[in-house]
Amino acid sequence: MTRGRIVAAGVPLLCLLMFGLAFSQQPRLHHRADLTRLVVIGDSLSAGYMNSSLLDSQQVHGYANLVATQAHTPMTLPLIAAPGIPNVLQLVSVGPPPVIVRAPGTSSGRTNPTDQATNLAVPGDTVHDALALRPDSSIDSLTDLILGLPGLLGGVLKSQVEWAEGLQPTTIITWIGSQDALNAVLLNDPAFLTPVAQFEADYSALMARLSATGASLVVANVPDVTVIPFLMSTEQVATEFGVPLDTVEQLLGIGPGDYVTLDTFPTIASILTGNTSGPLPPNSVLIASEIAQINEAVASYNRIIAEQARAHGAALVDTNALLSFLKSHGLVVHGRRLTTDFLGGLFSLDGIHPTYTGHAVIADEFIHVMNSRLHAGIPPIAVERVAKTDPLILPGVGHPASALRKMGAEIGKSLRSGLLHH
């Protein structure tokens, strides 16, 4: 594997001694991390959600489980039976264009309902949800299945943070906040961003409570939403459809800095072929000023996360920088350059969650930071070995002329149904 190492956030501790500061101000950075009771808090990214589904055969490939496996520490996942919830997306044909459908059948829910999960991440959760959202007795949502079992059997209702407090963790990994920005993308409206003041209050409360457990803390920040292939720029649309940029701008009514989501592609195809009149409806486009508003919020969220990490002595994983690096440079594995494009090898069929290989790269970055900041001593991930058996590194991936990136509407619809409801 060839890639530049993203430098983890952090300041050498020797400077603290020069200023006479006590070791007790950042105790977790001076001792080897105790990983015997590792707990994870987060959203779909930490849950091992892929291909628009939480599914047992995929959950084990999530970055958090990879970190635990490499560290030889136990982690209990709230495993969801096939075909997953929602039903997992499957690639029937690579095309072009590829044919992507939902797997048939109905999941029976948790395969291990009597096991207490230590990976508490719930797809769709915002920072506020991690603090306050509890399951209910109906057991009809991922919140109920992940946080409600086995607790509901004894009448215990707890949020992610409340469970973390009760599990006596020695180390906590927290990657939360992406949903606070992603809601604006899924709903094509920056009004659905979590207000910065609320994010700051919620994240501060979350970190104060996690710090009070005495556990070593590892946190990650919020990626740039334009990295994910679920969003496509005007220039990318022109490339995907093989149409001159000025024609795309004229017929679709979009310009530089504007983005569309995957579920607009059938409408775009219809307009470009003359079957439907343009332009695109305003509610199907995130214009440049709206993207700027989302980016500004993400920058504010990440400033808050960095401040709280410093305040509580947490190791900070810069996933924003990592994924931006991958978007700019790709990742060379086995002589092929994987990319963040759709079906480029790093993102799954939903266009927003990593593949097995993408999760392995993220896990490797977590391990690097945990080793350098917490002296965790975790062996690195063999990303090349993961990529060799990744079902979404398809023939032709890694070549610029590949036509495998073309996509359809099912992905966008599935994301909205799967991620906007708990």
Half-sphere exposure of 14 (CA within 13 A, CB side): 1
Q: CA distances (Å), 362 to each of 66, 76, 319, 388, in order?
A: 10, 20, 7, 17
pLDDT tens digits for 245-266? 999 999 999 999 999 998 898 8
pLDDT tens digits for 286-344? 999 999 999 999 999 999 999 999 999 999 999 999 999 999 999 999 899 999 999 99
pLDDT tens digits for 257-300? 999 998 898 899 999 999 999 999 998 999 999 999 999 999 99
pLDDT tens digits for 340-361? 999 999 999 999 999 999 999 9
Nearest to 191 by CA among 297, 107, 271: 297
State whether CATH 3.40.1690.10 applies to domain 26-225+298-419.
no
DSSP string, 29-92: GSS----TTEEEEESHHHHT-BTTBB-HHHHTTSHHHHHHHHHT-------B-TTTBTTPEEEE
Which segment of 141-155, 214-228, 390-404 scores lowest on mean pLDDT?
A: 390-404
Taking the C-alpha atoms of residue 360 and residue 65, their distance in angstroms, rounded to an integer, is 10
C-alpha of 341 from chain center: 16
Please tell me the pTM assigned to this model.
0.89
Q: Where are the domains of the chain?
A: 26-225+298-419
Instruction: Check whether 371 has a pLDDT greater than 90.
Output: yes
